[in-house]
Structures are given as structure tokens and as C-alpha cells.
Structure 1
Amino acid sequence: MSLPSRLDDPDYAALAWARYRRLIAWMFAFTLVVTTAALTLFWYRNGFVSIHFYIATGLGIMVAMMLMSALMGLVFLSSGTGHDESIEDPFADEADR
């Protein structure tokens, strides 16, 4: 028997997803600052290398940081709402042995 998740409540789910979207928005702003700083540092130290270098580096930094933000945000969402505890553990009986 599984326990009910707090995400089953529409009001609480809306609050939790709004908090997640706010986290992602802040992380996107932080990602833009970090990417701009990194590209500025590359330009300052190396000069103009190639436009392709700057595009690839900027996209690489942004994709990596936003992927990390999205995944960690989902971990926080799942843990913070009690969704992790509501999942039925099929191996719980084996742990008691």
C-alpha cells in the first residue's frame, strides 16, 4: 500500500511547481552571468579566436548548467513535497530479514 503524495493535492502541486519554475528562472539568470563572465575571460586572455569557439563554449556552459539545475530542482521538488516517501518499496520485506 502506498501513501498519498502531497503532489496529488492540486493546490499544493501548483505551489510546488511554481517554486520549481522560480528556481529555474533564477538559475537561468545565474547561468547567463556565469556564461558571460567565462566568455569575457576567454576573450580577455586569448583575444578573438573564432566565433564558433565562443558559440560552442557558451552553449556548452549554458546547457550543462541548466541541465544540472533542472535535475537538482526535480530532486528538491520530489524530496520537499514528500513524494519520495509515498513510493511503495517492493523490497521493504527483504530488508527486515
Structure 2
Amino acid sequence: MVMALSLLGSIPVRLDDSTFAPQRKAMRASRLDDPEHAAYAWGRFRTILKWNLIASAVAALLGLLALRWMAGPVPWFMALMTVMGIFMTVGCAALLMGLVFISAGTGHDAAVDNTMPDNQI
């Protein structure tokens, strides 16, 4: 039995709970199980992520320039937090978008056979 701590604190949670067995059985093999295809997909994901991180940096600098143009000189801490806020927001959105692309593009989403009635999930 594998145990872990839940997000709510020190309540133990069984990771091998038998209620997930039907969900595991319903999954077909995805193309990510093939090492060659997985290497290609993760390489593509890293490429997308690199370009999106560059776009995040450009967006952060444009935001800083817009702040400077609208408000004039600002304290360094405000400028730093503005840059970090924009960079992290755009970067997190890019990361999630990339994960959606890799999941859909490799057929990982299609590997789930969702034939269970709605009231059982």
C-alpha cells in the first residue's frame, strides 16, 4: 500500500485506491509509451516552451516600458514585481498551453476510453 499526505494536512491518502482500477483499465496505450515518439514529443514541447519564455520576457519588458511611459519613474521594487508578475503569468500560461498541446498531439487524451456513465465518475 502506497501512502501520501493529502493537501489538507497530515491525513494519509491511499494512492493505490481500488476505486481508480476501472479508470486505469479503461486507458489504452498512448504514443507517449513509445520512447522514440516520446523523445520527439518532449523535444517539441521544450522548443515551444523556449519560444514562449522568450515571448514572456518580451511581454514583461513591454509592460515595464508601458508602466514607465504611463507612470513615470517607479521604485525599483515596483518595477521588479511588475516584470516578475507579467513574466510568471505569461510563462505559466505558456507552460499549461504546451502541456495541452503535448497531451492532445500525442494521442494521450484519446487513450482514455470514456464509456462509463456520467454518474460513476
Distance 1:26 1:94 in 2: 41
Task: Structure 1 unaligned segments of length 5 or more: list them.
Answer: none
Q: Secondary structure at the match of 1:18?
A: helix
Give the structure with the higher percent helix: 1
Distance 2:89 2:65 in 1: 18
Task: Structure 2 unaligned segments of length 5 or more: list them.
Answer: 1-25
Residue 72 (structure 2) pairs with residue 47 (structure 1)? yes
TM-score by length of 1: 0.88
Moved over 3 A (4+): none
1:19 aligned residue: 44
Residue 90 (structure 2) pairs with residue 71 (structure 1)? no
* Number of residue pairs aligned between Structure 1 and Structure 2: 93
Give me the identity figure in percent: 34
Root mean square deviation, CA, Å: 1.3
Distance 2:116 2:59 in 1: 48
Distance 1:33 1:7 in 2: 32
Give the structure with the higher percent strand: 2
Q: Secondary structure at the match of 1:86?
A: coil
Residue 32 (structure 2) pairs with residue 7 (structure 1)? yes
Residue 107 (structure 2) pairs with residue 82 (structure 1)? yes
